[in-house]
Structure 1
């Protein structure tokens, strides 16, 4: 399974008064991860897609937090494409530090027509760009076979 990753350092603006990442900030980081994936992984940035009248709103997102992140931590956020539908894409999400996992999750982004406000099929060039990222049937490293990180200790 091919994963796309970005690194981010936890900044003061990400944290609550205790110096821990305030959980909504993780969703902003996930959005940045998906945006970078479209731009760098697929070669179709959101500016270009917006100019063509397309957007990729999040249709569903689930996370399982396993340990806190603190001010100054370096996070590696990654995604793998778990499925490609007619007008949607599923992602397997992961966030970890050198100290271990911070969260796992899944998300579904929708290909949508900005003016109509509804889903539309992926345009051919974007659909084709997903090909090297698609899971390989029977691959033991597919998102479904990823290790269960729900038992990670709260540190």
Structure 2
């Protein structure tokens, strides 16, 4: 089951043509990831980022249709794989029944030195449970 995050397209997201300027989608994606860590993993960024971080190591996105100011988007995040220090997710955005974008990305847990670290056991367990549909 996917973690869902609601995002209204705001004026600040749009270019002069009135559609979402594509880099703003990446901000929305990160907002969804941050909400996922807070709500699903109970590991909010403000706690995590005191001594660690989860940068995006790779991302591939396909834009399906434009979004406009005022559109109500739903971003749905699914965990696809859990590694020792990383996880891969699939995120799809839609407005009603219309697909707007889909992206696959890999997050890596890094410590204070910026080097990868193993997920803490409770977080790895939650990620695995979510991936397997138990979370």
Cα offsets for 1:82-134 (capped at 9, x unmatched): 00000000001100001500011201000001x21111110112112213211
Partner in structure 2 of residue 46 of structure 1: 45
Structure 1: state its 5+ residue gaps.
Answer: 137-155
Q: Which one has the largest radius of gyration?
A: 1
Structure 2: state its 5+ residue gaps.
Answer: none
Cα offsets for 1:42-82 (capped at 9, x unmatched): 1111111123x111000011110010000110000111000
**Following superposition, which runs of at least 4 residues in structure 1 exceed 4 angstroms of deviation?**
none
Partner in structure 1 of residue 91 of structure 2: 93
Partner in structure 2 of residue 152 of structure 1: none
Partner in structure 1 of residue 102 of structure 2: 104
Q: Are positions 1:126 and 2:129 aligned together?
A: no
Q: TM-score, normalised by structure 1?
A: 0.82
Partner in structure 2 of residue 139 of structure 1: none
Question: What is the CA RMSD across the aligned residues, in angstroms?
Answer: 1.1
Partner Cα separation in structure 1 for residue 36 and residue 110 of structure 2: 17
Q: TM-score, normalised by structure 2?
A: 0.94
Partner in structure 1 of residue 61 of structure 2: 63
Partner Cα separation in structure 2 for residue 88 and residue 67 of structure 1: 30
Aligned length: 133
